């Protein structure tokens, strides 16, 4: 159960051979048509226009998917690897459309103080009406988390969120979940 916008379930570490499979994953990007060559989008923060990273997603390697099904959950919408643009410091506020919760496992955190930051809209607009939020002045921070290297964390991905403080490429294993009441749920 999530009491905040995130949870750290007690789950087994990903074995070394599967970590390597994630790092070596060269399957096609499933969302490349949205992001092309990593152009991303521009966001406005404190009056400054900043280029936003695009987290490109690849389908997870089959042996990693089988391990997830055996050790964590069979109830997922997808298993994939995501990587950020190495030259961007932020992935701007957004909602995930293809999942309600995201179980992440960083293999490269993208920097020492990278945070996932959660927001609510200051207006009465329904936050589900948009996927991307381009102006931080519309948002109020309500929670944040730093997910350590090789640590499982569940994020509420139907809450507006951003990833901030990137200083290098971020690489994560991600498991999309429709529901979250605790893991493992085998």
Question: Mean pLDDT by 10-residue block, N- to C-terminus, for the chain (186 residues)?
Answer: 86 97 81 55 90 84 97 95 85 88 97 96 88 91 97 96 94 95 85
Which of helix, strand or coil describes residue 181?
coil
Find where tokens 């916008």 sit. 5
pLDDT at residue 33, rounded to an integer: 54
pLDDT at residue 2, rounded to an integer: 63
Q: Which of 94, 89, 109 is nearest to 48 (CA)?
A: 89
pLDDT at residue 160, rounded to an integer: 95
Contact (CB, 8 A) for 63 and 173: no
Q: How far apart are the C-alpha atoms of 40 and 24, rounded to whole Å?
A: 24
pTM: 0.90
Q: How far apart are the C-alpha atoms of 56 and 36, rounded to whole Å?
A: 9
User: Dihedrals φ, ψ of 11, to 5°?
Assistant: -125, 155
- String of DSSP letters for 103-145: EEEEEEESSTT-EEEEEEESSSS-GGG-SB--BGGGEEEEEEE
Q: Does domain 6-177 have CATH number 2.60.120?
A: yes
């Amino acid at each position: 159960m999530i009491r905040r916008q995130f949870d750290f379930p007690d789950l087994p570490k990903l074995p070394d051979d599967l970590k390597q499979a994630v790092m070596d994953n060269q399957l096609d990007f499933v969302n490349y048509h949205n992001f092309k060559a990593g152009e991303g989008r521009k966001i406005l923060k404190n009056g400054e226009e900043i280029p936003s990273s695009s987290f490109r997603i690849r389908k997870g390697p089959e042996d990693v998917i089988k391990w997830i099904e055996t050790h964590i959950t069979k109830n997922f919408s997808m298993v994939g690897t995501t990587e950020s643009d190495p030259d961007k410091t932020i992935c701007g506020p957004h909602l995930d459309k293809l999942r309600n919760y995201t179980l992440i496992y960083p293999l490269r955190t993208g920097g020492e103080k990278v945070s996932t930051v959660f927001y609510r809209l200051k207006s009465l607009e329904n936050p589900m009406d948009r996927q991307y939020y381009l102006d931080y002045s519309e948002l109020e921070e309500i929670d944040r988390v730093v997910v350590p290297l090789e640590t499982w964390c569940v994020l509420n991905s139907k809450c507006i969120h951003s990833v901030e403080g990137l200083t290098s490429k971020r690489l994560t294993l991600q498991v999309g979940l429709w529901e979250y009441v605790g893991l493992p749920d085998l």
